[in-house]
Amino acid sequence: MSKVPVKRAAHPRIGVVGLGYVGLPLAVEFGHVHPTLGFDINEARVAALRRGRDSTLEVTSAELKAAAKLEYSSDPKELKRCNFFVITVPTPIDQYKRPDLTPLEKASETVGKVMTKGSIVVYESTVYPGCTEEICVPILERASGLRFNVDFFVGYSPERINPGDKQHRLTTIVKITSGSTPEVAERVDDVYRSIIKAGTHRASSIRVAEAAKVIENTQRDVNIALINELALIFKRLGIDTEEVLKAAGTKWNFLPFRPGLVGGHCIGVDPYYLTHKAQEIGYHPEMILAGRRINDNMGLYVAGEIVKLLSDNRLPVKGARVLVLGLTFKENCPDLRNSKVVDVVRELDRYGARVDIHDPWITATAARHEYGLDLVSKPRAGTYDAIVIAVAHDAFRTMGLPAIKRLAKRRHVVYDIKHLFPASRTDARL
């Protein structure tokens, strides 16, 4: 049985499958150097990119235009031109907090149907250790009729995209790479080094690379959960959490985490991939799941605090007009995925409040599609009993607290989740 040699061609023909927050910046960078096809099943997304418009705002029109070797398609047959595939589809969780591998499995099947002998398939989607070889490889084999590590090969290079971050970009972040054989690992590393200015770190195996990715955000999740729990304690003690953290932060090795709502496509999701695998092998991960419980319940806690604040100020709860400023999962980006602000909105609604939402970073269509929520484009002055500053968009900081308060009635309360303004100028904050 002879193996197909792993060709070290100077110019691989790259196919990037999935053109979201991860895939598009990758396709653009590859498109500067190698013939690249950006593939997405969303025809409207592909059409917009061809017009030079990225709805995620991660890539500018000028950057799209500069990627001279990049083409776009929603026709999977076009992928037949490629021999180096990179799969960058979402890996969400379902309603029971279990990994939902459906997008990954469908993408693997799509690639399997078009790949030929000698092809390399690299996964960037966040998964648990072992997923690439245990779940994805069998799908590639069935769809292609080819043999793993004989006719085709795989790699894993976890994404490290931070939506909305204009400082830490794809090319300036060290890239972890790996491959299913030593030769493939070297080949995968070569391809990524052609675009990553910060350099690469070649892991010893695919499983090591998978594990490294999933613990990056698990570590952050656990640390934020600790600070959130401290905030709950300090609230009962009548101590301002921000003041405590500033004081503790004068020590050189104190970690600068802050309390908040933990959502998004990574920190609020990735730990469940690791805990799923841990439980599958018979280990119950107590600390990780405890952190998840704390962070998942912070939206309900915040809503309860807002209700108490209204009551303490002798303002009605049922029928109260509440303005929530911000719906995205983080500041200065249009990413709505797994936003925990939604938990605050829905809990306030259950208390009988009438909640308006204003967010200049997203469209009304996006909010309605993602959560069935309507936006207010221009909140009316003198309307609200309570204002909740939920996301630290620069637009709200620039607007300033006096202008924000003018949107409220004469008697009102302001709850600042993100500590955007000094504690002395708001009624309460997380």
Positive/negative CA dihedral, 309, 311, 314, 320:
positive
Cα–Cα distance for residue pair 12/341, rounded to 1 Å: 43
DSSP summary character for residue 380: P
Q: Is residue 208 within 8 Å of 226, Cβ to Cβ?
A: no
Cα–Cα distance for residue pair 417/403, rounded to 1 Å: 18
User: Look-up: residue for tokens 């990627």?
Assistant: 67
Cα–Cα distance for residue pair 78/82, rounded to 1 Å: 8
3-class SS of residue 384: strand
Q: Both tokens of residue 269? A: 């999701």
DSSP summary character for residue 3: P
- Percentage helix, strand, coil, to 5, in the chain? 40, 15, 45
Cα–Cα distance for residue pair 266/272, rounded to 1 Å: 10
In the set 131, 136, 266, 333, the catalytic residue is: 266
User: Look-up: residue for tokens 């990049």?
Assistant: 70
- Does 266 qualify as catalytic in the annotation? yes
Cα–Cα distance for residue pair 241/235, rounded to 1 Å: 8
CA atoms within 13 A on the CB side of 147: 5
Catalytic residues: 266
